[in-house]
Amino acid sequence: MPVAMTDLPTEFPDFGLTLHQRRQAVRGLYWEWPGMDSEHGEIWCYSDRFSYRRGETVTLHVSSTASSFSMAIVRDGGIETKMSEKAGIAARWQDTPDQCSVLGCGWDASFEFRVGDDWPSGAYRVTLTADGRDGKPVRCHHLFIVTPQPGKKRGRVLQVAATSTWLAYSTWGGSNHYEGITGPNRDQYAPMVSTQRPWCRGFVVLPKEAPRVPLEVAVAPKTVPRYPHMEWAFATGHSKKYASSGWASYDSHFFRFAERAAYAVDLASQHELHFSPEILDGYDCVVFVGHDEYWTWEMRDAVDAYVERGGHAARFAGNFMWQTRLEDEGRRQVCYKYRARAEDPVYRGGDVTRATNSWEAPEIGRPGATTFGLNATRGIYAGWGGCAPRGVRGFPVYRPEHWAFAGTGIYYGDLLGADSHVYGYEVDGLDHEIHGGLPYPTPDSGAPDGLEILAVGMAAQVEESADIPFEHQFLGDEDGRFTAETLFGEASDANLDKVKRGNGMIVNFRRGKGEVFHAGSCEWVAGLLRQDAMVERVTRNVLDRYLGKS
Ligand SMILES: [Fe+2]
């Protein structure tokens, strides 16, 4: 049933945590590691790659306290299809290095199988089940992608899963690009993360009740922010970052919607964009969704060239922020982020345009807007913490006559997707000005020629309140200071003031022989998940036009 949320509760949901536990849920470092459930027994699994073609061999690396396990593989699309089942596969416990998030687990291969010749492109969920020490079953979930076959793809959509962002956020093993156990005091985030480890809990499957990041609460005056998703994660044993990234929270909702709406949709990982850019050839429409924050230079080259020669890119995603590099044939992702200028070796004699810093760092010279029309540092947070917690829940529409809104019934000044809360929790924007009631990019915004702004909402890059003390802020002004320094050379108050007010947009522009449509919000997929008719219609308008159906 479609959901309308006009009557929001006034209290935060409560998951039974004490005050101390609630603080721990948000401020504490907690993660999945081999040995964490040794009393009950464990099973963990990863595959050698993110994606495979038909006929290729998937190698699973498994570590378990049990001596055997069973495996079920389900294709997770518009419907769930059981593809294969097998019982009695041998397992053993395998040692894992302390810094496995960085180095990979290094487990021996446990089991191999061949991707069937009739397995359609898509996401394949692997569930391993074994007997726990107390007789109760223990389980783990993994996901791999089956990529499309080469050849013409007339009428088909290619969705590229945001696997670089999954990798950046995965908490498995203790370190990711946000927090971690690296450095002399075991308290630093990892600038390098390995694909050779299991996904964290909640990236592959989630129960329906798992909260999304944006608040579904009418926040009372002077309220100290709470973070229901992290509290729920802490209370239920899920990853602290389950709601920030992953197939279950983001990419799956578009893929399932597209199949249910009878689109022919294929799936690839970002590794294909990087290593096999020809995968885009022949598609009329390529789609990016959800929280899509980490890209390599080569991935952008692939999309830019595809659009130039007549392709259509539709991005329903937010936070186009960081350049990454891939090493070890893609098994290692590098992103120094906030420490790039101090630590990334390319600043000491390498090619500085490949620095793993914000795309908008002047030394890189390739703002995200040149590919997708919007920039991350002009956008950022909305609808959580102290960043516009009572802000718009949908996109304020300025150009309702645009083809993307045909048939929605939307008016000038309406909010698109407010009921389903599509606006947040990270959005991408542009510096702009309003004339005669219509927004235009400013001349120095970096917007591509001819870009049209269809919708604009407000966002914040700092958590700032006269009523909430700094120690109660989770986001604070760290990101804002970083952006100030990256763009203007110094993290001064004056520079912070230039960057702290952001926005999130829907934009459309032509490039070469092709075209880009970009609804710059992580939460667009919430509109598809919650069956918001207007959000579904806009999504279909974009797909239909780009597939030549309308
Ligand atoms: Fe992000």
pLDDT in tens, 273-326: 999 999 999 999 999 999 999 999 999 999 999 999 999 999 999 999 999 999
- Cα 291 to ligand 1 centroid, rounded to whole Å: 6
The verdict on residue 202 lying in a domain is: no
Alpha carbons 448 and 111: distance in angstroms, whole number? 49
Asked if 175 and 99 touch (Cβ cutoff 8 Å), the reply is: yes
- Cα 129 to ligand 1 centroid, rounded to whole Å: 33
Range of the domain at 388: 157-166+244-547
Alpha carbons 97 and 51: distance in angstroms, whole number? 25
- Cα 136 to ligand 1 centroid, rounded to whole Å: 37
- Cα 17 to ligand 1 centroid, rounded to whole Å: 26
Model pTM score: 0.97
pLDDT score, position 409? 97
Strand, coil or helix: what is 352?
A: helix
* 333: amino acid identity, one letter: Q
Residue 6 above 70 pLDDT?
no
Residue 3 above 90 pLDDT?
no
DSSP bridge pairs for 417? none
CB under 8 Å, gap of 24 or more: what pairs does 400-403 form?
402/452, 402/454, 402/508, 403/541, 403/545
* Cβ contacts of 184 within 8 Å, gap of 6 or more: none
- Cα 441 to ligand 1 centroid, rounded to whole Å: 24
Residue 152 above 80 pLDDT?
no
- Cα 289 to ligand 1 centroid, rounded to whole Å: 13
The verdict on residue 281 lying in a domain is: yes
The verdict on residue 100 lying in a domain is: no
The verdict on residue 121 lying in a domain is: no
- Cα 379 to ligand 1 centroid, rounded to whole Å: 11
Q: 45-65: string of b/e by CB count within 10 Å (b at 16+)?
A: bbbbbbbbebeeebebbbbbb
* Cβ contacts of 35 within 8 Å, gap of 6 or more: 42
- What token pair was written down for 27? 């401020």
Asked if 500 and 297 touch (Cβ cutoff 8 Å), the reply is: no
Among candidate residues 310, 316, 369, 374, the one with its CA nearest the CA of residue 515: 310
Asked if 364 and 341 touch (Cβ cutoff 8 Å), the reply is: no
- E strand or H helix at 102, and its extent? helix 100-103
- Cα 217 to ligand 1 centroid, rounded to whole Å: 22
Sheet holding 57-64, edge to edge: 43-47, 57-64, 111-114
- Cα 295 to ligand 1 centroid, rounded to whole Å: 12
Among residues of the chain, what percentage have pLDDT more than 90? 95
pLDDT in tens, 33-73: 999 999 999 999 999 999 999 999 999 999 999 999 999 99
Half-sphere exposure of 503 (CA within 13 A, CB side): 19
First to last CA, the chain: 28
The verdict on residue 69 lying in a domain is: no
pLDDT score, position 181? 98
Among candidate residues 303, 305, 271, 309, the one with its CA nearest the CA of residue 287: 303
Asked if 206 and 250 touch (Cβ cutoff 8 Å), the reply is: no
- Cα 132 to ligand 1 centroid, rounded to whole Å: 36
Q: What are phi and psi of 506, to 5 degrees?
A: -110, 125
Do the bridges between strand 294-296 and strand 452-460 make them parallel or antiparallel, or are there none, so unpaired? unpaired
pLDDT score, position 437? 98
pLDDT in tens, 363-403: 999 999 999 999 999 999 999 999 999 999 999 999 999 99
| Mean pLDDT (the chain, rounded) | 96
Q: How many domains does the chain have?
A: 1
pLDDT score, position 4? 53
Alpha carbons 509 and 520: distance in angstroms, whole number? 14
Alpha carbons 265 and 262: distance in angstroms, whole number? 9
Residue 29 above 70 pLDDT?
yes
The verdict on residue 264 lying in a domain is: yes
Asked if 453 and 460 touch (Cβ cutoff 8 Å), the reply is: no
The verdict on residue 188 lying in a domain is: no
Strand, coil or helix: what is 357?
A: coil
Note the Cα 172 to chain centre separation in Å. 16
- Cα 85 to ligand 1 centroid, rounded to whole Å: 36
- What token pair was written down for 362? 């002047």
Residue 148 above 70 pLDDT?
yes
- Cα 319 to ligand 1 centroid, rounded to whole Å: 6
Q: Could you count the other beta carbons within 10 Å of the beta carbon of residue 407?
A: 12
